[in-house]
Amino acid sequence: MSAYETIRYDLTDAVATITLDRPESLNSLNKAMRHELRHAFERAPAEGARAVLMTGAGRSFCSGQDLGEHGGRLANVERTLSEEYEPMLHAILDCPLPVITAVNGVAAGAGASLALLGDIVLAARSAQFVIAFARIGLVPDVSATHFLPRLIGLPRAMGMAMTTEPVDGVRAADWGLVWKMIEDDALMPDARAMAAGFATGPTKALALTKQTLRAGMQADLIDQLKLEAKAQAEAAASRDFAEGTAAFREKRKPSFEGR
Ligand code: T3D
């Protein structure tokens, strides 16, 4: 796939920037976007990216499912979720690179679910997380029922899902839904600087870190300790670890290669 219809993809200095680009519908998710997002997240590591930054064009991050797509009927919704949304979701979660989502505006329905798939979620002060599904008589999906209660606890997850009350960047940071709230004007410069920092960082260890932390959300302590030990053995055998410790001893900045 050389050109995308619904997203923009740019790879510069080992940072892949993915911009959801259907601003006329606040970047709603249609079939093409689900497919293109999956493709872009699989492509980025394959062509040498060492960090991914995802954001939305215009005033929104993503307004969720394109409500015009099915003409108001969801006859095949289970199939759409399993054959289109799930592969997209796994491509993001399994991406072996640090993934930053910069939530520049409203993130509603599956758009909120998408925003929360970032390893690091940065929210503009004016961002709005809206678990909007109940407004149209649906239930939260695309992993929202898995991640929301784990991130902010059941009472707040229930409140967001059942009232559909928007949560802004300040409250999202206060609740631990996101890593940081950033003033609107500073969101993209800060997100780019963070992505650039990751792209020159020990990305092999960062990949192992994200995999191990995510696995820890589901494992028991005994299994998790084994997984940590395995991940640590892999990191300890990396060139980056040798470089990191040498740089520490020599009191210089390390030069990491991600291997
Ligand atoms: O397979 C499946 O279908 C199941 C999967 C479901 C997953 C889901 O995501 S379900 C939830 C879908 N999303 C929503 O219900 C949110 C719908 N949008 C809104 O509630 C509001 O637009 C927002 C709260 C996001 C923002 O409100 P506001 O007032 O800032 O903007 P607006 O005026 O409502 O929207 C601006 C335009 O975007 C407007 O078009 P127009 O009138 O200028 O031509 C609006 O229709 C369009 N738009 C916004 N969201 C969607 C959309 N068009 C299509 N799909 C959307 N999701």
Tell me what the mean pLDDT of segment 181-187 comes to: 98
**130 within ligand 1 shell (Cβ under 6 A):** yes
Structure tokens at 130: 């809206």
Tell me what the mean pLDDT of segment 95-106 comes to: 98
| Residue bearing the CA closest to ligand 1, atom 42 | 25
Q: Are 160 and 129 in contact (CB under 8 A)?
A: yes
CA torsion angle for 25, 101, 111, 133 (degrees, to 10)? -140
Tell me what the mean pLDDT of segment 97-117 comes to: 98
Residue 70, pLDDT score: 82
Tell me what the mean pLDDT of segment 206-219 comes to: 97
Whole-number Å distance, alpha carbon 150 to ligand 1 midpoint, is 26
Given a cut of 80, whether residue 54 has pLDDT beyond it is: yes
pLDDT band for position 126 (50/70/90)?
A: very high
Residue 122, pLDDT score: 99
Rounded Cα distance between 173 and 166, Å, is 13
Tell me what the mean pLDDT of segment 230-255 comes to: 98
Average pLDDT over the chain, rounded to an integer: 97
Of residues 48 and 72, the one with the higher pLDDT is 48
Determine the residue of 27, 37, 63, 67 to mutate for testing ligand 1's pocket, defined as the one with the most ligand atoms within 8 A of the Cβ atom: 63
Q: 12-41 pLDDT, tens per residue?
A: 999 999 999 999 999 999 999 999 999 999
CA torsion angle for 28, 5, 3, 201 (degrees, to 10)? -10
Residue 2, pLDDT score: 55
Given a cut of 60, whether residue 230 has pLDDT beyond it is: yes
pLDDT band for position 71 (50/70/90)?
A: confident
Structure tokens at 121: 């979620």
Tell me what the mean pLDDT of segment 170-188 comes to: 98
Domains, the chain, with CATH or none: 7-199 (3.90.226.10), 203-250 (1.10.12)
Given a cut of 80, whether residue 72 has pLDDT beyond it is: no
Residue 1, pLDDT score: 56
Of residues 74 and 207, the one with the higher pLDDT is 207
Question: What does DSSP say about strands 15-20 and 7-12: parallel, antiparallel, or unpaired?
Answer: antiparallel
Residue 98, pLDDT score: 98
Q: Are 102 and 147 in contact (CB under 8 A)?
A: no
Tell me what the mean pLDDT of segment 198-206 comes to: 98
| Residue bearing the CA closest to ligand 1, atom 24 | 108
Whole-number Å distance, alpha carbon 5 to ligand 1 midpoint, is 19
